[in-house]
Amino acid sequence: MPPVLWSFRRCPYAMRARLGLAAAGQPVHLREILLRDKPAAFLAASKSATVPCLDLGTEQIDESLDIMLWALAQNDPEALLDMPPLGHELIAECDGPFKQALDRSKYATRYPDSDPQDARSKASAFIAKLEAQIGAGPWLFGTAPKLADLAILPFVRQFAHIDQTWFAAQPWPAVQGWLAAFKAAPRFAAIMQKYPPWQPPEAGHPFPES
């Protein structure tokens, strides 16, 4: 039986996991949940109670990047794992300082002691670094995507969507083109397909999974 992926469509971490699984051609039973109403079966599977969670039966993988790495270790037809060490450094920066600044820019009311404009400036410094790295691109490391591209793009998308007019006006043509190509790709459309929230079969839903 395919593993179960607990997911929330708009979460960038869950997007990242779905991208890795799709790139590996790894089938899963996708269970879409509502974060405000987490089902008991999900809470039993996920130690962190956060999406994504990949339930392999014998073990559960709670971290989105670990799900990507697990999937690509099974099958990596596009050689996404074949990238220089800088790729892993960029992912770490995305998951650390950039995500912290992104959250403080997007969810300012949650961080009353933080200046959202200062946070946006800090996040912008990372975008500028990506701009220089892409260069003629169109990907971070040349003409084909790597793990870093798929791991970082969902978060750049989230940052861009805070204020798309402002983002489009910034001097980041390489990043803007990189993001636009990502959003227009069939793979992105496939992993963003909408599913109704999962319900346990005993609630009268005999086919609860995608």
| pLDDT at 91 (0 to 100) | 98
77: left (phi over 0), alpha (psi -120 to 50) or beta: alpha
Q: What is the pLDDT of residues 84-106, one digit of tens each?
A: 999 999 999 999 999 999 999 99
Residue limits of CATH 3.40.30.10 in the chain? 4-78+191-203
Thinking of the domain 4-78+191-203, which architecture would CATH place it in?
3-Layer(aba) Sandwich (3.40)
| pLDDT classification of 210: cutoffs 50, 70, 90 | low
For the question of whether the overall pTM of this predicted structure is more than 0.85, the answer is: yes
| Residues 197, 165: Cα–Cα separation, whole Å | 32
Q: What is the pLDDT of residues 114-170, one digit of tens each?
A: 999 999 999 999 999 999 999 999 999 999 999 999 999 999 999 999 999 999 999
pLDDT exceeding 90 applies to what percent of the chain?
94
Query: If we measure between CA atoms, which residue out of 91, 114, 90 comes closest to residue 104?
Result: 114
Residue limits of CATH 1.20.1050.10 in the chain? 85-189
Phi, psi of 119 (to 5 degrees): -65, -40
Q: Tell me the fold of 85-189.
A: Glutathione S-transferase Yfyf (Class Pi); Chain A, domain 2 (1.20.1050)
Query: If we measure between CA atoms, which residue out of 68, 5, 2 comes closest to residue 195?
Result: 5
Q: Is pLDDT above 50 for 206? A: no
